[in-house]
């Protein structure tokens, strides 16, 4: 369990690496930034990786893994809690020279973890569905190295009895990140 996040990240890279001939551009981005709630009084560090494949340069798919640091107060999440997401997204970006603005959205796995107040107790983990929607900008300095800035709204959802019975939960946050984009 200790190395689960590393294994998931490596599986993500290996899966999309084998699919590279189907895409015109593969963009790998390790990122870091902050996540914040509606009142923006508390921000927590966030890090993760993204692997996007752009077919024809405009439409593509992305796998995104992100993890927040532990919240210290209850303004963003419940105190002593953190969130981890792994989402599959559709990405639409229009290349304009070496710059590509894009919009992104998708569905995936969301885990929330709550640790006891003293930090010595066992953490309670809850797995479920999450959705994300956002946008950003990729800019490439060379043919293979650039910068990516991204902002996303992430929210927990609950699936009901039928396909269209989806309820949005109160757990939500905004993630703002930046990272080095490597294009293959």
Q: What confidence category does residue 171 fall into, taking pLDDT thresholds of 50, 70 and 90? A: confident
H-type alpha helices, 120-174: none
18-31 pLDDT, tens per residue? 444 444 689 999 99
Q: What is the pTM of this model?
A: 0.79
The range of the structural domain enclosing residue 154 comes to: 4-183
Return the higher-pLDDT residue of 76 and 68: 68
Which of helix, strand or coil describes residue 98? Answer: coil
Q: Are 82 and 175 in contact (CB under 8 A)?
A: no
Q: Are 12 and 53 in contact (CB under 8 A)?
A: no
Q: Are 16 and 9 in contact (CB under 8 A)?
A: no
Return the higher-pLDDT residue of 121 and 140: 140
Structure tokens at 144: 């293979």
Domains of the chain: total: 1
pLDDT value at position 115? 75
pLDDT value at position 25? 83
- Which of 8-17, 50-59, 79-88, 91-100 is the least confident region? 8-17
Its sign, for the CA torsion 113, 117, 118, 121, is negative
Residue 136 sits in a domain whose CATH number is 2.40.160.20
Reply yes or no on whether the pLDDT at 162 is more than 70.
Answer: no
Q: What confidence category does residue 76 fall into, taking pLDDT thresholds of 50, 70 and 90? A: low
pLDDT value at position 30? 98
90-126 pLDDT, tens per residue? 999 998 989 999 999 999 999 988 776 655 667 788 8
Q: What confidence category does residue 169 fall into, taking pLDDT thresholds of 50, 70 and 90? A: confident
Reply yes or no on whether the pLDDT at 66 is more than 50.
Answer: yes
């Amino acid at each position: 369990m200790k190395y689960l996040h590393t294994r998931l990240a490596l599986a993500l890279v290996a899966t999309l690496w084998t699919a590279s001939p189907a895409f015109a551009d593969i963009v790998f981005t390790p990122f870091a930034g902050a996540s914040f709630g509606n009142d923006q009084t508390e921000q927590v560090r966030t890090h993760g990786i993204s692997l996007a494949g752009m077919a024809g340069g405009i439409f593509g798919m992305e796998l995104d893994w992100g993890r927040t640091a532990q919240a210290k107060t209850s303004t963003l999440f419940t105190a002593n809690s953190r969130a981890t997401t792994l989402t599959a997204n559709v990405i639409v970006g229009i290349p304009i020279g070496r710059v590509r603005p894009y919009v992104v959205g998708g569905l995936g796995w969301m885990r929330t973890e709550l640790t006891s107040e003293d930090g010595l107790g066992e953490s309670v983990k809850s797995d479920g569905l999450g959705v994300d929607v956002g946008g950003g900008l990729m800019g490439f300095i060379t043919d293979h190295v650039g910068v990516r800035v991204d902002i996303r709204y992430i929210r927990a959802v609950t699936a009901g009895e039928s396909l269209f019975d989806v309820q949005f939960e109160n757990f939500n946050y905004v993630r703002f990140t930046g990272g080095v984009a490597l294009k293959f």
